[in-house]
Structure 1
Amino acid sequence: MVGLTGGMGCGKSTAAARFAERGFRRLDADQVVRDELLPSPEVAAAIRDRLGPSMLAADGSVRRDRVAGKVFKDPAALAWLEELLHPRLLERWRGMVAASPGTAFIVEVPLLFEKGLENWFDFTVCVTTDSESQLRRLEQRGIPRDQARERISQQLPLARKCELADHVLLNDGTPEFLREQVDALADRLLNSQPDRPAGRIHVSPP
């Protein structure tokens, strides 16, 4: 199982999609939270009780935009939300992996190193880019620069993530440049034994 991380706007999802095309089964931690955990009545009730009724829509569903706006300005609220969601997320992973023995998984985890989850994986991969490209991509998603900087500041610096990762992918160039790197790394990982790690390798196309 391979853990894929990186900063906001660095291209994790693009890299994960290419890994999936190369034979990995893709799991997205954020998608599991969005599609499975937040719709849970138990989780919604906990968010209402802790963060206030304004966090829920009229139908009882969680207003993700309001929750994000609150917790990214309140470290204590963010820590509480992570403590609520992360054990449930890890339980989902256990079930998925146990149900598909022998499958090569690529798992997108934005806070992989921040939460000390590296030991869950056979290998870790960090997608990185320069600061200007990162901010520009987030602006294209509708996140203003000041909000983007605030959210980025909540994460471990990219340079440190790259130091901790077994493999690093650069997303400073064209989409083809990133695909070539993913292809080279996918071949290597699919042929590697989990108990004989290939080590920290910076992968670039020839």
Structure 2
Amino acid sequence: MADYIVGLTGGIGSGKTTVANLFAELGITLVDADVIARDVVMKGSYGLAQITQHFGDDILLDDGNLDRAKLREKIFHNDAERVWLNSLLHPLIRETMLKQCKQAQSNYVIMVVPLLFENGLDSLVDRTLLVDISPELQQQRTMSRDSVTAQQVKNIISSQATRAEKLSKADDVIDNQGEISALKCKVEALHNFYLKLSSNS
């Protein structure tokens, strides 16, 4: 069981997934908030049952899975509904993340949370690691990856904590503006550092 948790975060397009996968290659268990957020509303889940009860059956696709686009539409302009949904899902996600951390067999765990600071989830981890790139590069990478407009990317970036806020809160920072080979060296150095910290905890 892993007792030491490192919270990995970064804005959209920063390369969180690439960094997380490099830790996974070193044998470290990943607990991914995005994956868990999908799992807690899967067909047959408690989360989906609650959502269906609240919004009605038209929130479902023909195959019984959640219609995410329709759900987004319902909460987009409705703060009360968004608050309701968050207060249902956030505790479920948090509980599942902690359970997965407990079950992990590696010396420490990387908990991948896009909105780690924004949602106060840094309180669950022993140390925080930020993947940092400039807003310009963030915009460029996200536009080419997700085929979205510059304005859409700007809207997403502005809904997240600012770069300065994240940098001031993070214990460790990986600058991801260079080559993947440089990134590997940085991850390996941090991995050795986290192994030391976890063995002392």
Instruction: Tell me if both proteins adopt one fold, taking TM over 0.5 as the criterion.
Output: yes
Residue number among 153, 158, 183 corresponding to 1:148 in the alignment:
153
> How much has 1:117 moved relative to structure 2?
1.7
Most deviating of 112-121 and 99-108: 99-108
> How much has 1:160 moved relative to structure 2?
0.6
Most deviating of 50-59 and 165-174: 50-59
**1:99–1:47: structure 2 CA closer, same or farther, 3 Å change rule?**
same
Tell me the secondary structure at the aligned position of residue 47 of structure 1.
helix
Q: What is the RMSD of the two structures over their aligned residues, measured on CA atoms?
A: 2.4
**Structure 2: where are the runs of 5+ without partners?**
none
1:79 aligns with 2:83: yes
Residue number among 121, 126, 132 corresponding to 1:122 in the alignment:
126
Q: Distance in 1 between matches of 2:87 and 2:171?
A: 27
> How much has 1:78 moved relative to structure 2?
3.5
Tell me the secondary structure at the aligned position of residue 153 of structure 1.
helix
Aligned equivalent of 2:8: 4
Alignment of 1:152-171 (within 5 A): 152-171=157-176
Contact 1:10 1:171 in 2 (8 A): yes
Aligned equivalent of 1:37: 40
Q: Distance in 1 between matches of 2:150 and 2:77?
A: 15
**1:42–1:192: structure 2 CA closer, same or farther, 3 Å change rule?**
closer
Aligned equivalent of 1:46: 50
Contact 2:107 2:195 in 1 (8 A): no
Identity %: 34
Most deviating of 39-48 and 6-15: 39-48
TM-score by length of 2: 0.84
| Larger RCO (alpha carbons 8 Å, 6+ apart) | 2
> How much has 1:10 moved relative to structure 2?
0.7
**1:165–1:106: structure 2 CA closer, same or farther, 3 Å change rule?**
same
Aligned residues, how many?
195
Q: Distance in 2 between matches of 1:136 and 1:73?
A: 28
> How much has 1:55 moved relative to structure 2?
3.5
Q: Distance in 1 between matches of 2:156 and 2:76?
A: 7
> How much has 1:71 moved relative to structure 2?
4.0
> How much has 1:130 moved relative to structure 2?
1.0
Most deviating of 64-73 and 164-173: 64-73
Alignment of 1:52-67 (within 5 A): 53-67=57-71
* Deviation digits for residues 55-103 of structure 1 (CA, Å, limit 9, x no counterpart): 3212221122443455455554433322221111121123223334664
**1:193–1:59: structure 2 CA closer, same or farther, 3 Å change rule?**
closer
Tell me the secondary structure at the aligned position of residue 14 of structure 2.
coil
